[in-house]
Structure 1
Amino acid sequence: MSSAGRTALLRARIDERVRARSLDPDLSISQGELVTLSARIVRRIENDFSEDEIAVITQLLGEVVEAVGRGRPVVEERIAAAILLYSRGDADRFARAALDAQQDWRDLMIDVGLADAGWEQRIDAEFGNP
């Protein structure tokens, strides 16, 4: 399947979860214990995405970060930050970045300027101090 096709499928998944939550706001979207996203990452999601998308984006970001970061907290936050920087509050861009991160997260780091020395300071500047 092409990259565009995979992005469309993930976007459809986002839309499906948003619709389900709009019908039942108490619906749990959790599928088990996920990595805990830092407060500054959660704040950014809340600032960047619509109220309807926040829970779904948070869930999906946790899933991607857990799969790619493999229990390495510094890597997990860096991946989450890269996906959100790329997304800029757009669910389509989020879907594309989430898929790219699963293919090779290092390319995503390059795309958003988190690949070189000083990436920690860039995250602090964009997301606030931890």
Structure 2
Amino acid sequence: MDEDLISDRLLGRVRRDFPDADVRRGILGALRILAVELEDSLQSTERLLTAVVVIAAGDVDHFRSAVRLARTDWRDLLMAGGLGDRDWPRTLDEMLGPARR
């Protein structure tokens, strides 16, 4: 799968939240699969995946729950992850740091 599905700043967040390399590898693989599954939403991939990681808060069971939520209704995912409002780009920057331009 395409490595670019996960931005550098989201990768940094995943590294912080999931410090165990084996766990992190599984998290990243699941995020890549989810990104492909959610393509039809026409939403920012980074926004959707960040919502999953934020909800997980470093807990694998919470991560699995967030993935299930994403597959059920990505709009509910964004709301639960704090990225459902109009100012989501600012919130995303607060969660991950500024995007490289």
TM class by shorter-chain length? 0.7 to 0.9
The TM-score with structure 2 as length reference comes to: 0.87
SS of the residue 1:129 aligns to: coil
Structure 2, unmatched stretches of 5+, are none
The TM-score with structure 1 as length reference comes to: 0.69
Q: Quick one: which of 79, 88, 100 aligns to 1:119?
A: 88
Is 1:82–1:108's contact at 8 Å kept on the other side of the alignment? Answer: yes
RMSD of aligned Cα (Å): 1.7
Is 1:86–1:94's contact at 8 Å kept on the other side of the alignment? Answer: yes
**CA–CA distance in structure 2, aligned partners of residues 114 and 100 of structure 1:** 14
Aligned amino acid, residue 39 of structure 2:
G
Give CA-to-partner distance per residue, 1:77-130, whole Å, 9 cap, x none.
111110011000000000000111011110011112211111010110110112
SS of the residue 2:58 aligns to: coil
**CA–CA distance in structure 1, aligned partners of residues 83 and 68 of structure 2:** 17
Q: Quick one: which of 82, 88, 97 aligns to 2:51?
A: 82
Identity %: 29
What is aligned with 1:59? Answer: 29
TM-fit CA distance, 1:50: 3.0
Number of residue pairs matched? 97
Alignment of 1:1-130 (within 5 A): 33-34=1-2, 36=4, 37-51=6-20, 52-70=22-40, 72=42, 75-130=44-99
**CA–CA distance in structure 2, aligned partners of residues 71 and 35 of structure 1:** 20
TM-fit CA distance, 1:46: 0.5
The structure number with the bigger radius of gyration is: 1
Distance 1:104 1:71, change over 3 A: closer
Structure 1, unmatched stretches of 5+, are 1-32
**CA–CA distance in structure 2, aligned partners of residues 99 and 84 of structure 1:** 13
**CA–CA distance in structure 1, aligned partners of residues 56 and 65 of structure 2:** 8
